[in-house]
Amino acid sequence: MSQALPTLDLKTLSPDLRAAVEAHVAAFAIQARELDAERVARAHLEAEMQELAAHNERLEHLVRELQRARFGRRSEKLNPDQLALTFEDLEIVIGEAQEAHDRASNAEPRAAKQKRSKAAGPRSLPKDLPRVETVIEPDSLACPCGCGDMVKIGEDVSERLDIVPAQLRVLVTVRPKYACPKGRAGVAQAKAKPRLIEGGLPTEALIAHIMVAKYSEHMPLYRQWQVFKRSGVILDRSILADWVGRASFHLAPIVERMAELIKQSGKLFMDETTAPVLDPGRGRTKTGYLWALARDDRPWGGADPPGVVFHYAPGRGGIHAERILDGFDGVLQVDGYSGYRRLAQAERCGGDPLVLAHCWSHARREIIKATPKKGSPIADEILKRIASLYAIEKDIRGQDPQHRHAVRQARSRPLVETLQAWIGAQRARLSRKSPMGTALAYMANHWAGLCVFLDDGRVEMDTNPVENLIRPLTLNRKNALFCGHDEGGVSWGRIASLIETCKLNNIDPYAYLRATLEALAAGHPQSRLDELLPWSFTPQA
C-alpha cells in the first residue's frame, strides 16, 4: 500500500527559501505553458504539412495527366481540338485546387502577388475599350486634427475587365413628312437609308453577327434561334438561314475576286476536308468536300497578303482540283493524295503542268504510324534526320527566297541525299508488305516532291499552313453535323473564306463583315471591288 507524499507547507519555510520555491514553481508553470504552445504549433505545422503534401500530390497527378495527353503514346494522344478541351478542363481543376489552398492557408491570392509593370500599364488592357469610371470617396474628408478638410494628394487606380452580355435592340427610323400649308406643292420627305435586305427586319450588323457566330464560333442557327428566344425575340431558324443566304449572295463577287487574285501567285497550298451533306433522296448524308486554296508568303517575306478560298465540290476526284486551279501556274504544295497527280501531267486542263511540292510532315506521320509499340531504330533514325531539316528551316524562317535557297543547298541538301541513300538501304532489308516497308515506300514514291523545297526558297517543307486553316471547318462540321444541301456547302465555303482570311490578316471578322455588308447595301460599285477584300479593310475607330 502506497503512502501519500507529505505536503510542503510554505508557511513553515524561511522567507528566502519560500521565495526560491515560489520562483521555481513559477518557472515550471511558464515552461509548461511553453511546452503546450509548442505542442499546438507542432500539431498545426504537421496538419499544414499534410495539407501541402495532399495539395502537391493532387497537382502532380494533374501534371501527369497533362503530360500524358500531350506526350503520351500515340494510342493515348488526342487530336488538337480534344487536346485543347483536355487542357482547359485540367487547368480549371488546377486553378480550383490553388484557390482552395490559398483560402485554406489564408494566403494572399496569386493575382495580388503579381506586380504590375509600370511600362505595360494596368494589365495592358486595350486603350480603345470603353471605360466606366467609378470614384470611391472616403466617408468623411474632415481632418482628425481639426484643421478643416483634407486635400487630395494622389489616387490609386485599378482596372478590372468586365463584360456586358449581347443585347438586342430595335432601331426605329422616323421620316417626317412635310407639305405646303396652302397645298401648293408636293410632300417633302427624306429617303430611307439603303438596306441589304430591302424591307427586311435585320440590320447589316445583325447579319454579320449571325454569320460570325455560325462560321467562326461554330454556333449553328438553331442554337442562335434559342438565344434569340431567351431574349423574347421569336425568329424562326428558316428566317435566319434566309438572311445568311441573301448576304452570301451579295458577298459572292468578293470571294470570286479573292480566288482570282490568289491564283495569280506563283506558289499556293491546297488541301481538302470532308463536308457531310444531307441527301434527302436516300434519307441520309453523302460526303462532299471543301477544297482549300491558300496563299501564305509570310515565311519568305512575300509582299502579297495571306488569304484562303474554300471551294465546295461533291467529290474528291482530282478533276475538282483541276477545275478550281484553272488559270494557276506554278508550285502547288499538297499532301500525298493521288488525285493531285493529274495536275502535273502535260494534258492538264486550265494551264501548264504544275510542280507538286509534297509534305514532309505527312511523310513523318507515316513513319510514326508504322512504328510498333516497342519502338523502332529505323523510325528513330528517320525522325531524328527530319528534325535536323526542320531545325535548319527554323533558322531561315522569314528570310528572303535567295537566302533560304542558298542555306538549303549548303546545309539541307547533303542531309536529304544521305537520308535518301539510307532509306534505300533499309528498304532492301525490309519486307515491302510490312508497316515500316510501306511507310518507306511512301517516302520513296513522293521523293521528287519532297525535294522541291531545296530548289525554291519560296516553298515550305510541309502543308501545315493550309491544314491549320481547315481546322475551323472541322469544328463547324462537328457542331452542325452536316450541310442541308450542296448549295449550303457552297455558302459555307464562301463565308468561311472571308472569315479565315480576316483571321490571317489580324482583322476582326465581325467588323469586316459589318462594314462590307453596309457598303454593299449602300451600292458600292463593282469597279472598286478590291476595296472590299479582307486584306484591304481598315478598321474605323
Q: What is the pLDDT at residue 208?
A: 93
Question: Rounded to whole angstroms, how far apart are CA atoms 496 and 502?
Answer: 10
Q: For 434-492, how does the pLDDT look when each residue is reduced to its tens digit (9 = 90+)?
A: 999 999 999 999 999 999 999 999 999 999 888 888 877 666 555 544 454 556 678 88
Q: What percent of the chain has pLDDT over 70?
A: 80
Q: For 249-263, how does the pLDDT look when each residue is reduced to its tens digit (9 = 90+)?
A: 899 999 999 999 999
Question: Rounded to whole angstroms, how far apart are CA atoms 538 and 541?
Answer: 10
What b/e readout covers 341-371, taking b as 16+ CB neighbours within 10 angstroms? ebbeeeebeeeeebbbbbbbbbbbebbeebb
The answer, yes or no, to whether residue 27 has pLDDT greater than 90, is no
Angle, CA of 432, 435 and 441, to the nearest 5°: 50
Q: What is the pLDDT at residue 111?
A: 45
Comparing 90-94, 358-362, 525-529, the range with the smallest average pLDDT is 90-94
The answer, yes or no, to whether residue 288 has pLDDT greater than 70, is yes
Q: What is the pLDDT at residue 113?
A: 44
Q: With bands split at pLDDT 50, 70 and 90, how would you rate the model's confidence at 53?
A: confident
The answer, yes or no, to whether residue 112 has pLDDT greater than 70, is no
Read off the pLDDT of each residue in 221-250 and give the average, rounded to a whole number: 84
Q: For 440-456, how does the pLDDT look when each residue is reduced to its tens digit (9 = 90+)?
A: 999 999 999 999 999 99
Q: What is the pLDDT at residue 101?
A: 65
Please, what is the average pLDDT of the chain? Answer: 82
Q: What percent of the chain has pLDDT over 90?
A: 38
The answer, yes or no, to whether residue 7 has pLDDT greater than 70, is no
Q: Is 373 exposed, middle or buried (0-12, 13-18, 19+ CB in 10 A)?
A: exposed
Q: Cell for 292?
A: 482549300
The answer, yes or no, to whether residue 119 has pLDDT greater than 70, is no
Q: With bands split at pLDDT 50, 70 and 90, how would you rate the model's confidence at 541?
A: very low
DSSP for 21-88?
HHHHHHHHHHHHHHHHHHHHHHHHHHHHHHHHHHHHHHHHHHHHHHHHHHHS-GGG---HHHHHHHHH
The answer, yes or no, to whether residue 44 has pLDDT greater than 80, is yes
The answer, yes or no, to whether residue 374 has pLDDT greater than 70, is yes
Q: What is the pLDDT at residue 461?
A: 94
Q: What is the pLDDT at residue 263?
A: 95
Comparing 9-18, 35-44, 46-55, the range with the smallest average pLDDT is 9-18
The answer, yes or no, to whether residue 90 has pLDDT greater than 50, is yes
Q: For 400-436, how does the pLDDT look when each residue is reduced to its tens digit (9 = 90+)?
A: 999 999 999 999 999 999 999 999 999 998 888 899 9
- Judging by DSSP bridges, how do beta strands 307-313 and 284-295 pair with one another? antiparallel
Comparing 243-247, 256-260, 277-281, 298-302, the range with the smallest average pLDDT is 277-281
- Give the pTM: 0.73
Question: Rounded to whole angstroms, how far apart are CA atoms 145 and 153?
Answer: 17
What b/e readout covers 498-528, taking b as 16+ CB neighbours within 10 angstroms? bbbbbbbbebebbbbbbbbbbbbbeebeeee
Q: With bands split at pLDDT 50, 70 and 90, how would you rate the model's confidence at 152?
A: confident
Q: Where do the domains of the chain lie?
A: 252-358+464-541, 360-462
Q: With bands split at pLDDT 50, 70 and 90, how would you rate the model's confidence at 69?
A: low
